[in-house]
Amino acid sequence: MSQTENQPTPPVENQAPPAPAPEPEPLREIITPSNKEVIVLAEQVGGQIQPVTLELLGAGRDLANKLGGQLSCILLGHNLGDAAQTLIHYGAEIVYVGDDAQLENYRTLPYRRVITDLLKTFALPPHILLLGSTTTGRDLAPRIAAFFKTGLTADCTELDIGPYEHTNKADPDKVGLYPGCLYAIRPSFGESLKARILGPWNNPQMATTRPGVMNPLKPDTSRTGEVRHIPVNLLSEDYRLEVMEIVRETSNSVNLTDADVIVSGGFGMGGPEGFELLKELAACFENGVVGATRKVVDAGWIPYQYQIGQTGKVVRPKVYIACGISGAIQHKVGMQKSGLIIAINKDADAPIFSVAQQGIVGDVFHVVPELIRQMKAQKQAGGVSSAEKSLV
C-alpha cells in the first residue's frame, strides 16, 4: 500500500459553493366568483322566528364582517306579520320574503323551488348559505346543494372564514390559494376530534349548525334593513306532496333547552338507580332537570330525550352540574357554553374539568348527597330563592 492512500483529499481552491435550492413558486390565487353575501335560511312556525335562525344570524354576522360582505335572510311562509322586521333587528341587512298560501306549511319541493329561483337571479352567487340542523334544514339543505353542485357540511359546531392552500396535484386546475374559504367545523372520528371541512370549489358554500350552538346577537329595534318581496312561481311537479294535517303535540318530556339548572349524569353513575339521586338534586331547583351522556342513553339507563351532546340536545343553562361524566368532546359540544359548569368526578384528570369553572374531585355518591342536604337546609332556612342563588 502506498503512503498516499487513505489520506484526505486536499481542498480545491476557488471551488464554488453549491447553488441554493430554487424558491418554490407562490400558489396562484383562485377566487371563486361570489357577491360576498352570507344568507341564512330562516325557519318560522306560525310567523314566529325559530331560535336557531337567530343563532345563525349571529354566526352569519361574524362571517359577513370577515368577508366584507352583507348578511341576508330568506323567509318563506304566509301571513308572516312582523317576522321580517324581527330578522332585521337580529342583524339581517336584507330579508327576501316569499309570502304565499302554498308556503304556509313547510314542504320540500315548493320551498326548494322558491329558493333556487331566487338564487338563480343573482348576477353572482352568494358566498355562503346557512341552515339549521333541524328537521326542515336537514331535508332542504342537501336538495339546494345538489341543485348548485356545491358542498354541504352538516351539524357544524363552529364556523369561520380563512385562506386555504390546495396543493394536491391530482386535479391541477384546483391547485392554488383560496382566500375566502368557509371553515365548517364539526366533531369527527367518533366525535373524539374536530374536523375542519372545506369546499371552496363552488359557491354558495353551505353548512348546517345544530340549535343551541351559536350565539345570537342582542336585538336592536333601531337597526334598519331592506325587505324584498320575491315571486312564488310553483310548477305542477312541486305539488306531489300534500300536507293533510299538522298535529303539534305538547309533550310532557323533559325540556332541556329551557332549564336554568341541569344536573347531568354519565357512566360514573353506575346504573339507572344512580339517576334517582340526580333527580333529587335537580328537584332542589325551581327550574332544574336531569340530563345524560350518550353512553348512558345507549346503555338504556335513561331515555333519549335526556341526552346532551352533539347527537342529543345542545344546552346553555345558567348552571350545569356534571356528575360522573368523563367529558368526551361529543358531550362537551352540547354543554360547554353553559353559564357555570360544576364537575364532580373522582378522576382528577377527567377531560370534563377542562371546561368546568368549579371542580370537585370525589365520589359522586358522597358529594351529591351532601349537596342535596345543604340545598334542603338552605331552603328551610331562607326559602327557595336563597338556595338557588347559592349556585345560579
3-class SS of residue 148: helix
pLDDT at position 1: 44
Given a contact cutoff of 8 angstroms between Cβ atoms, the answer to whether 206 and 130 are in contact is: yes
Where does 79-225 show beta strands of DSSP type E? Answer: 94-99, 128-132, 152-156, 158-166, 176-188, 193-197, 205-209
| Residue-level pLDDT at 266 | 95
Which fold, 261-389?
Answer: Rossmann fold (3.40.50)
> Can you state the angle between helices 108-120 and 135-148, rounded to 10 degrees?
40
Q: What's the pLDDT at 243?
A: 81
Q: Are 257 and 315 in contact (CB under 8 A)?
A: yes
Burial of 38 (0-12, 13-18, 19+ CB in 10 A): buried
pTM of this structure: 0.73
Alpha helix positions (H), 163-310: 272-282, 294-298
Question: What kind of architecture, by CATH, is found in domain 37-239?
Answer: 3-Layer(aba) Sandwich (3.40)
Question: Residues of CATH 3.40.50.1220 domain(s) within the chain?
Answer: 261-389
Beta bridge partners of 205: 128
Grid cell in block for residue 247: 298535529
Distance from chain centroid for Cα 134: 11
In which residue ranges of the chain is CATH 3.40.50.620 found?
A: 37-239
Task: Name the burial class of residue 147, with classes exposed (0-12), middle (13-18) and buried (19+) by CB atoms within 10 angstroms of its CB.
Answer: middle
Sort 335 into a burial class: Cβ within 10 Å, 0-12 / 13-18 / 19+.
buried
Consecutive 10-residue averages of pLDDT for the chain (392 residues): 53 67 79 93 94 95 95 97 96 97 94 97 96 94 96 93 91 91 83 82 94 90 96 93 73 74 95 94 93 92 90 90 92 90 95 94 95 89 55 54
The pLDDT of residue 2 is 44
Strand order in the sheet with 340-345: 288-292, 261-265, 319-323, 340-345, 358-361
pLDDT, residue 4, reads 47
In this structure, are residues 261 and 319 in contact, taking their beta carbons and an 8 Å threshold? yes
Contact 213, 55 (CB under 8 A): yes
Cβ within 8 Å of residue 4, ≥6 positions away: none
Non-local (6+) Cβ contacts of 150 within 8 A are: 199, 201, 202, 203, 204, 205, 206
